[in-house]
Amino acid sequence: MFLLIKSNELRPTNAAYAIPIFITVLGFVALVFGFLGFLGAIKLNKCLLMMFIIVVGITIALEFTGGILLIVYSEKVGLG
């Protein structure tokens, strides 16, 4: 059994780290805004609750837009 391995193919590139770092940062941001929503609900603070609602609304709009763009450009992304 013979196996030829190119060492450059096994090393992770900067692009390999981009997605986990992005997901980690996004999770931290969600944690902070979730805590602000929790704190606003406990303290009955209208400003914190409105900020939480606005951020959740923007997040839902961005996810919806991203999903539509993924469907429209699925051939260019390599999903279809």
pLDDT tens, residue by residue, 4-34: 666 666 666 676 677 788 889 989 999 999 9
pLDDT tens, residue by residue, 31-75: 999 999 999 999 999 999 999 999 999 999 999 998 899 888 888
39's CB contacts (< 8 A; 6+ apart) are 45, 48
Question: Kindly report the CA angle at 28 between 35 and 30, in degrees rounded to 5?
Answer: 50
User: Which position has the token pair 């406990």?
Assistant: 42
What CA–CA distances, in Å, run from 14 to 17, 21, 71? Answer: 5, 11, 26
